[in-house]
Amino acid sequence: MVGDENNNKSNRQYIVAILFGVIIFLIIIIPTTILLVKNLSEKNNPTHIHYTRVNKNIYREHYELYQLNILSKRNPGQQYKLLGDFLRRSLFNASNYERYLPNCPIMFSLTSIDHPEDWRAMIFGTLKYPSPQLPHPYVCFISVLSEDRQHRLGSVLLNHFINHVMKANKYVYIQLHANYENCRAQRLYHACGFLCNEFKLNGYPEPHDPQYKFGHMIRMELNIQNIKNKTDVCSNPKAIEISQQEKDKYEKLCQTNKPTGLLQPCQNITS
Ligand SMILES: *[C@@H]1O[C@H](CO)[C@@H](O)[C@H](O)[C@H]1NC(C)=O
Ligand SMILES: *[C@@H]1O[C@H](CO)[C@@H](O)[C@H](O)[C@H]1NC(C)=O
């Protein structure tokens, strides 16, 4: 009889111990395993960017336009690294673009047909850059891979960013910066209606893009009210109308702070 009671007791203890073990397993081991597997798969699958096709257009017969959104809960550091790598490949290898990209959440890419991840050209912008010097919607970066240049992809992207800002229906200006010697970029911006309104000697931090002799910077600004046809802002000269008075005002601002005698590498673009 006594032996039976002892047996029952140790059986009960045994069951309790097993139950306890199972509970611990459920509470600790399973979630840990799920977390580990999830982290591992995220490391191996860094494409946590959401792609939205903007329209059904095929651009220049080879490209589709997507809006990109970083899925911020997952692994934004990894995404910014990928985007930074793209900018280093297409713009300037030595720059730490990751520092700026989180402030530029509006992203559009032109990609190979049916391959949204195969970025060929990109624009990064924002409606409000966190800096008192940049109170207007701002284009942070625009870049086209060298093998995809000469198709005017930059103007497709910039036109689309301008349309995106116009849709909000509450902004008047869009701003951006360019290297003073980057005539290719300035020609594009000018075609879209941007005018220089500030010159900054050595405005780009060292090291600046070595294809330019200096790091002088200009700021350019688009007055959205000058846009007459928003579907071809950057490709049809008639889509933009700027009064002579406004041009003169901008020209004066652009010359302020520019040392006299400085070379004028991009003189013809404003004619
Ligand atoms: C950056 O470096 C890579 C690898 O060294 C090179 O293939 C690429 O052309 C460089 N890009 C620029 C813009 O200099
Ligand atoms: C704007 O430009 C597009 C494309 O060139 C053209 O089809 C359209 O007729 C233009 N709209 C106006 C109001 O001029």
Number of domains present in the structure of the chain: 2
Same domain, 30 and 105: no
Same domain, 151 and 178: yes
* Residues of the domain holding 13: 1-45
Residue listed under structure tokens 């870049």: 143
Least confident of 34-38, 74-78, 153-157, 162-166: 34-38
Same domain, 39 and 135: no
Predicted pLDDT of residue 32 = 80
Same domain, 212 and 265: yes
Cα separations (Å) of 228 from 122, 164, 225, 236?
Answer: 25, 16, 8, 10
Reported as a pLDDT band with limits 50, 70 and 90, residue 150 is very high
By most ligand atoms within 8 Å of CB, the mutation choice from 86, 90, 93, 147 for ligand 1 is 93
Same domain, 151 and 23: no
Give 114's contacts (C-beta < 8 A, 6+ positions apart).
64
Least confident of 25-39, 47-61, 127-141: 25-39
Same domain, 131 and 254: yes
Predicted pLDDT of residue 163 = 97
Query: Which atom of ligand 2 lies at the shortest distance from residue 238's CA?
Result: 14
Q: Whose CA is nearest to atom 7 of ligand 1?
A: 89
Q: Is 11 in the pocket of ligand 1 (CB under 6 A)?
A: no
Same domain, 132 and 223: yes
* Domain at 176, CATH number: 3.40.630.30
Same domain, 32 and 55: no
Reported as a pLDDT band with limits 50, 70 and 90, residue 271 is very low
Q: Whose CA is nearest to atom 11 of ligand 1?
A: 89
